[in-house]
């Protein structure tokens, strides 16, 4: 308490000295750490013509973003760009803000961001753009960017999944079902609608008997897959445009030999989760986009923005290394390409 | 504890005993400088000076502007929570109250209510949570840790449930811009003014009023405080309401700062608040601490974050540094306390023999 009279100074002296010591320690830590940083930063800021990009994923330690940032680093290497990956460990709405600020302050020429919260980062992204920093959104769009590198369009996903299924069913077609995730998930519902519309238009021999929802929960999706296979006797295929649903549909199929070879499962899945089913032949093919290519393209887009090859205007074109030429579409969107198909040959190559 | 036994009659009746407190065995400069708060402030100054010379791009107004913007919610909310911790209670619900108030504010604004009225509704929604916390702790008599962990989950759930996966983002840009604008020509944002004013208010309340002395007395011993005329439960209830009102106001501010009302706003802030307070020398057991110390603790963490981020050090390492700093400060304070208690008890023994 404030009015303690004895033993006062020694205790406080001890606290004071110790805190100072702690700070000194921290500071030496800082100084040591910063010893490496400024050399690259200094070069980036002072070099003028040098290009640099900071990738800010939704969070660190996420395999999907590790893959995309790996592709981004590869592209930056090819382009001779200084590459940095920095991001939060949590996915709160404002958690990415300090990293945008740091990128502005350290004179980065461009920022590529997968925003957790497209609005919350806007203020700082606008600040960045007002200082000439080019902003590329990847994976998730925000309002305040120069271009958005979109991994997949609704139609692209629908076309990809319907093509896989139609190719499998062949001429005779048959009855299929859709197993989605949450009934209220906007992106999933858009895909489901597009899949149904496309089947109606192009494949009159295929009927969608039912749309079920796994609610993003393993157990629920498993039970829904079970329900579909039991209640629809002539079911030939399930399309599951949700990573949990496709995994659990495959899981149920693996547990139930009588449906194997009878019901065919495909959807949007993660290679790490689907590998065991693909390798055992339960699932032949499934789709997603390739996050490494997504990061790779985002780096090339950032470089093209810095160089002035593109400005985000519709119709601008640029070369993206091994991926070839890309054109900026409506609203500054650059679409990665058709759905990437995983099968027995390539599923083991991906770690996300 | 030994302090209380040393001057048993000191806490209750202020007037006659007051003269006793003024017995200082050390000169004023030593009492001012050799305090936890002074050490923390010195650490901040040293950190800023060294960062200015060693960390590239640190020495510019933008650094300070963003440093305060990023830490403003925590700096605001830690002020009333400091008083709660000094009474020996804790309020872990502030982060969720921020989210709840943000959701109410957003929904009210979306429903077409004028933004000023919506903001007041947001703050009041926060205050209501405070009443619930306070009633459960005082009238029902449950431990504040359990109660506020409960409301932490409860109000986060309600906040997320109210808005679902949507968020309200179409706030007028002139207002959201004003939130992050610099204060006059200074290199600090407008919110600095709110932090300073609230800090002065809560500092005055804690250190210069009978209410504040009651807060310390409750932290030392609620029974003694009650016997000496402190209205213990009323004080605790008021503090919980204050804490949630400030968290509610912070929720409205945060919503406008990021122009986004969403139920997950302020997730995990309660721990940042408690970390700053404890780093600032406030005893988690209650009875000891200052507003200045808690605020300085918050600023030190903000400055550390900014420095390490600019030095290109990853967020995982920053967490490690903050955690280590906290443990270090707590361990040092408790070891120092142990040593001084031993010295003091020896001294008291000698005095006792002497008389």
Comparing A14 with B321, the larger pLDDT belongs to: B321
**B181 to chain A: which residues are within 8 Å by CB?**
none
Question: Residue B113 is part of a domain; what is its CATH number?
Answer: 1.10.3470
Q: What is the pLDDT of residues B20-63, one digit of tens each?
A: 555 566 677 766 666 778 889 999 999 999 999 999 889 888 89
The pLDDT value recorded for residue B21 is 57
- In sequence order, which residues have a C-beta less than 8 Å from that of residue A169 and are 6 or more positions away? A176, A205, A206, A236, A237, A264
Closest Cβ–Cβ partner in B167, B264, B321 for A29: B321
Residue B9 pLDDT: 47
Which pTM value belongs to this model? 0.77
Q: Mutating which of A42, A86, A102 best tests the B interface, going by the most B Cβ atoms within 10 A?
A: A102
| Chain A touched by B98 (CB under 8 Å) | no
- Strand-pairing partners, residue A335, are A150
Q: Report whether pLDDT(B72) > 70.
A: yes
* Two structure tokens written together for A109: 């020429």
The pLDDT value recorded for residue B1 is 42
- Residue B295 resides in a domain: yes
Model pLDDT, residue B348: 63
Q: Are strands A264-267 and A317-319 parallel, antiparallel or unpaired?
A: unpaired
Contact (CB<8Å) B39/A105: no
User: Which residues between 77 and 116 in chain A have a beta carbon less than 8 angstroms from any beta carbon of chain B?
Assistant: 84, 86-90, 92-94, 97-99, 101-102, 104-107
The mean pLDDT value of chain B amounts to: 87
Residue reference for tokens 């501010």: B253
For chain A, positions 157-186, list CB contacts with chain B under 8 A.
184-186
- CB-nearest to A12 from B3, B34, B46 is B34
CB proximity A131 to B under 8 Å:
no
What is the per-residue pLDDT across B326-335, written as a single tens digit (0 to 9) for each?
A: 888 888 777 7
Q: Which DSSP state fits A345?
A: T
- On whether residue B32 sits in a domain, the answer given is no
Give the separation between CA B87 and CA B234, rounded to whole angstroms: 12
**Which of B9, B22, B29, B54 has the most A C-beta neighbours within 10 Å, making it the best mutation to test the interface with A?**
B54
Residue partners of A222: CB distance under 8 A and separation at least 6:
A214, A248, A251, A252
**Beta strand pairing status for A235-240 and A174-180?**
parallel
Q: Is A58 on the interface with B (CB under 8 A)?
A: no
Q: What is the DSSP letter of A55?
A: E
Within-domain flag for B245: yes
- Specify the residue for token string 């702690």: A22
**A263 by DSSP, 3-state: which?**
strand
Within a domain: B257:
yes
Residue of A nearest to B47 (CA): A27
CB-based contact (8 Å) between B221 and chain A?
Answer: no
Instruction: Please report whether residue B342 resides in a domain.
Output: no
Size of interface A-B (CB pairs under 8 A): 211
β partners of residue A55 = A85, A112
Which positions in chain A touch B265 (Cβ < 8 Å)? 92-93
Give contacts of B 99-118 with A, CB under 8 A: none
Q: What token pair was written down for A43? A: 């070069």
Strand-strand pairing, A317-319 and A325-327? antiparallel
Nearest-by-Cβ selection for A15 from B30, B56, B332: B332
What is the reported pLDDT for B182? 87
- For residue A25, the model assigns a pLDDT of 46
Candidates A2, A87, A94; nearest CB to B258: A94
Among A1, A12, A94, select the one facing B35 at the smallest CB separation: A12
Measure CB to CB from residue A123 to each of B30, B259, B305 and give the nearest one: B259
Top pLDDT among A182 and B77 is at: B77
Query: Strand, coil or helix: what is B184?
Result: coil
ipTM score here? 0.78
pLDDT tens sequence across B183-201: 888 888 999 999 999 999 9
Inter-chain residue contact A123 with B176, CB threshold 8 Å = yes
Q: Chain B contacts of A20, Cβ < 8 Å?
A: 39, 42-43, 46
Distance from CA of A216 to the nearest CA of B (A): 14
Contact call for A184 and B31, based on CB within 8 A? no
Of A7, A86, A93, the CB nearest to B264: A93
The structure tokens listed for A69 are: 């940032």
Using one digit for the tens of pLDDT, what is the confidence trace for B246-267?
999 999 999 999 998 988 899 8
Q: What is the mean pLDDT of each run of 10 residues along chain A (352 residues)?
A: 43 49 45 35 43 91 86 94 90 87 93 89 92 93 91 90 94 93 80 94 94 89 95 95 92 93 93 92 92 94 94 92 92 91 90 80
Q: What is the mean pLDDT of residues B97-106?
A: 96
User: What are the chain B neighbours of A190 within 8 Å (beta carbons)?
Assistant: none
What three-state secondary structure class fits A316?
coil
Q: Is B151 in contact with B129 (CB distance < 8 Å)? A: yes
CB of B17 less than 8 A from some CB of A:
no
Give chain B's end-to-end CA distance (angstroms, integer): 22
Paired tokens of B222: 């609620």
3-state secondary structure of A293: helix
Of A8, A19, A102, the CB nearest to B26: A8
pLDDT of residue A7: 42
Range of the domain at B184: 38-312
Mark which residues 190-219 of B lie under 8 Å from A by CB. 207, 216
Give chain B's domain count: 1
Query: What is the distance between the terminal CA atoms of chain A, rounded to a whole angstrom?
Result: 55
Task: Report DSSP state, residue A24.
Answer: H
The helix (run of H) or strand (run of E) holding residue A137 is: strand A134-138
Yes or no, beta carbons of A27 and B46 under 8 Å apart: yes
Backbone torsions φ then ψ of A206, nearest 5 degrees: -110, 130
| Count of other CB atoms within 10 angstroms of residue A345 | 8
In a domain, B349, yes or no: no
- Asked if residue A203 lies in contact with residue A162, where contact means CB atoms within 8 angstroms, the answer is yes
For every residue of A228-293, which 3-state class applies, written as one string?
Answer: HHHHCCCEEEEEECCHHHHHHHHHHHHHCHHHECCEEEEEECCHHHHHHHHHCCCCCCEEECCHHH
Residue with structure tokens 């390409």? A337
User: Distance between CA B163 and CA A219 in Å, rounded?
Assistant: 26
- Looking at residue B34, its pLDDT comes to 67
Give A145's DSSP letter: -
């Amino acid at each position: 308490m404030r009015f303690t009279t004895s033993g006062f100074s020694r205790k406080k002296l001890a606290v004071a000295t110790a805190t100072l010591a702690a700070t000194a320690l921290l500071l030496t830590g800082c100084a040591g750490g910063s010893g490496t940083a400024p050399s690259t930063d200094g070069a980036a800021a002072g070099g003028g013509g040098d290009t640099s990009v900071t990738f800010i994923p939704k969070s660190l330690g996420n395999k999907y973003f590790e893959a995309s940032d790996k592709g981004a680093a590869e592209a930056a290497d090819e382009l001779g760009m200084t590459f940095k990956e920095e991001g939060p460990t949590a996915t709160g709405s404002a958690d990415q803000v300090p990293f945008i600020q740091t990128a502005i302050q350290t004179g980065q020429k461009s920022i590529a961001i997968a925003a957790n919260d497209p609005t919350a980062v806007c203020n700082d992204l606008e600040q960045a753009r007002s200082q000439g920093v080019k902003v590329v959104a990847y994976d998730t769009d925000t309002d305040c960017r120069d271009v958005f590198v979109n991994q997949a369009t609704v139609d692209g996903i629908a076309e990809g999944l319907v093509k896989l299924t139609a190719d499998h069913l062949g001429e005779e077609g048959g009855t299929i079902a859709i197993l989605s995730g949450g009934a209220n998930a906007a992106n999933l519902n858009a895909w489901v609608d597009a899949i149904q519309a496309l089947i109606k238009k192009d494949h009159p021999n295929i009927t969608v008997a039912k749309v079920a929802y796994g609610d993003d929960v393993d157990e629920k999706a498993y039970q829904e897959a079970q329900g579909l296979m039991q209640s629809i006797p002539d079911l030939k295929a399930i399309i599951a445009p949700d990573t949990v649903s496709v995994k659990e549909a495959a899981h149920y199929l693996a547990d139930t030999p009588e449906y194997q070879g009878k019901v065919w499962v495909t959807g949007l899945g993660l290679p790490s989760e689907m590998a065991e089913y693909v390798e055992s032949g339960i699932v032949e093919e499934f789709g997603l986009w390739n996050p490494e290519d997504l990061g790779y393209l985002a780096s090339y887009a950032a470089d093209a923005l810095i160089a002035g090859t593109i400005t985000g205007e519709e119709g601008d074109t640029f070369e993206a290394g091994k991926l070839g030429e890309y054109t900026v579409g409506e609203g500054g969107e650059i679409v990665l390409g058709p759905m990437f198909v995983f099968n027995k040959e390539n599923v083991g190559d991906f770690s996300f | 504890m030994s302090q209380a036994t040393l001057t048993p009659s000191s806490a209750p009746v202020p007037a006659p005993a007051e003269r006793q407190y003024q017995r200082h065995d050390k000169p004023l400069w030593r009492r001012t400088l050799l305090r936890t708060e002074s050490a923390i402030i010195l650490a901040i100054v040293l950190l800023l000076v060294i960062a200015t010379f060693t960390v590239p791009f640190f020495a510019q107004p933008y650094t300070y502007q963003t440093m305060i913007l990023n830490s403003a919610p925590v700096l605001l909310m830690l002020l009333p929570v400091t008083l709660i911790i000094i009474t020996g209670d804790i309020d872990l619900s502030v982060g969720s109250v921020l989210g709840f108030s943000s959701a109410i504010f957003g929904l009210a604004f979306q429903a077409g209510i004028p933004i000023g009225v919506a903001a007041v509704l947001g703050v009041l929604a926060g205050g209501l949570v405070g009443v619930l916390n306070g009633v459960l702790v005082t009238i029902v008599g449950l431990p504040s840790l359990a109660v506020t962990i409960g409301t932490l989950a409860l109000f986060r759930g309600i906040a997320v449930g109210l808005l679902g996966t949507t968020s309200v983002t179409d706030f007028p840009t002139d207002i959201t811009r004003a939130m992050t604008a610099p204060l006059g020509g200074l290199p600090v944002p407008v919110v600095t003014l709110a932090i300073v004013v609230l800090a002065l208010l809560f500092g005055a309340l804690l250190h210069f009023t009978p209410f504040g002395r009651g807060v310390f007395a409750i932290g030392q011993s609620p029974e003694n405080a009650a016997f000496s005329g402190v209205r213990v439960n009323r004080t605790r209830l008021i503090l919980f309401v204050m804490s949630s009102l400030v968290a509610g106001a912070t929720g409205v501010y945060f919503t406008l700062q990021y122009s986004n009302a969403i139920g997950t706003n302020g997730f995990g802030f309660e721990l940042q608040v408690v970390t700053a307070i404890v780093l600032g020398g406030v005893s988690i057991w209650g009875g000891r601490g200052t507003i200045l110390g808690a605020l300085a603790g918050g600023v030190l963490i903000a400055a550390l974050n900014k420095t390490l981020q600019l030095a290109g050090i990853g967020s995982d390492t920053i967490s490690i540094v903050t955690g280590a700093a906290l443990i270090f400060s707590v361990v040092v304070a408790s070891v120092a306390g142990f040593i001084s208690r031993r010295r003091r008890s020896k001294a008291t023994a000698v005095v006792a023999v002497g008389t």
